[in-house]
Structure 1
Amino acid sequence: MTSTPEPDELRTDRLLLRRVGPGDVRAAIAVLSDPEANRFNPAGPPSAEQAAKMLAEWQLHWARDGIGYWAVELPETGEVIGFGGLRHHDLDGEPTFNLFYRFRPRHWGRGYAPEMARAAIDWARRVRPDRPVTISTDPDNAPSRRVAEKLGFAHVGESRTDVGPVLIWRPQEVTMVT
């Protein structure tokens, strides 16, 4: 069995996506605990302690699974503008990658979420084509639904989490017309 390369660092045209580490705790608290960034999070914003714990869990995912959420950084300034990426997920008994992102509100509307997401999806398709990428959104989160649609995903159903219902998105099947 061959191992799959860990995507510790990916670069896009404008972003550096890098494996999260202990040095990201301040940025994680700032991004994850921001009430505006959690507008569509049914659980609401986590406390600073909870955000730090989330970051530690993400580091464990990297250690255990070889994949996880990245710190999303602007290379020219080094500013961490958000977090996102892929994590192993079980969706109704099917192993998938869950695509997640959360950005500082001052960076919304600049196309960073789709840019980060495309890099993650491209990695998954290239290295782990056996594991589909899915997106779960709050039913009221129109901005995340728009990102899913920009990425070529379609709403395929609903599921429930411990905090409420979510919409499930999967890549649309492309059919060629000749």
Structure 2
Amino acid sequence: MTSSPDEIRTDRLLLRRAGPGDLRAAITVLSDPRTHRYNPAGPPSPEEVAGMLAEWQAHWAHDGIGYWAVELPPTGEVVGFGGLRHHRLDGEPTLNLFYRFRPAHWGRGYATEMARAAVEWADRARPDRPVVIITDPDNEPSQRVARKLGFTHAGDSITIDGPVLVYRREEATLRA
């Protein structure tokens, strides 16, 4: 795995900075109602996805970190998006881990593989900010990924969309 946040390679995936050329894939992934089953706001429109993609690029430019397009190197197919963003959780500066994948690629371990690479990168490059996973209380698949990464339920919070569960790694939970 490389240390550059612009591009990280794992055993099966290429994580690369999402850009304007990823709009069609972003619309496919993010506008699919199945990928928003646990999002009370539902899926965004194609226009909203375009705005989100622009926002992700602004985060890279401003923060030097953001969301990657998750690609299968043999084919170049973008199977999802994910990464880290600066986030304030109840006033504490953190890095929030996010991911969404095409339903056709669920159950293959790609979310865990991408998330593990993101957390490892954050440990090296941003050790001052704990990584958190914020998920809907009913989103068991996301909670399962969190547990596979060694995160535990550390508490609850409220967002504009309602109540959420907060997952942290054990050592971060002990320090908090």
Q: TM-score range by the shorter chain?
A: over 0.9
Paired residue secondary structure (1:98): strand
Amino acid at match of 1:132: P
Alignment TM-score, normalising by the size of structure 2:
0.94
Equivalent of 1:149 in 139, 143, 147:
147
Paired residue secondary structure (2:28): helix
Equivalent of 1:88 in 78, 86, 89:
86
Tell me the percent identity.
Answer: 75
Paired residue secondary structure (2:171): coil
1:1-178 alignment, distance < 5 Å: 6-173=4-171
Equivalent pair of 1:138/1:167 in contact (CA under 8 Å): yes
TM-fit CA distance, 1:173 = 2.6
Paired residue secondary structure (2:38): coil
Question: Aligned-residue CA RMSD in angstroms?
Answer: 1.2
Distance 2:107 2:33 in 1: 17
* Unmatched tracts of structure 1, length 5 or more: none
* Unmatched tracts of structure 2, length 5 or more: none
Flag the structure with higher helix content. Answer: 2
Equivalent pair of 1:31/1:104 in contact (CA under 8 Å): yes
Paired residue secondary structure (2:11): coil
Amino acid at match of 1:88: H
Alignment TM-score, normalising by the size of structure 1:
0.93
Distance 1:81 1:54 in 2: 17
Equivalent pair of 1:6/1:66 in contact (CA under 8 Å): no
TM-fit CA distance, 1:6 = 5.0
Equivalent pair of 1:6/1:67 in contact (CA under 8 Å): no
- Residues matched between the structures, number: 170
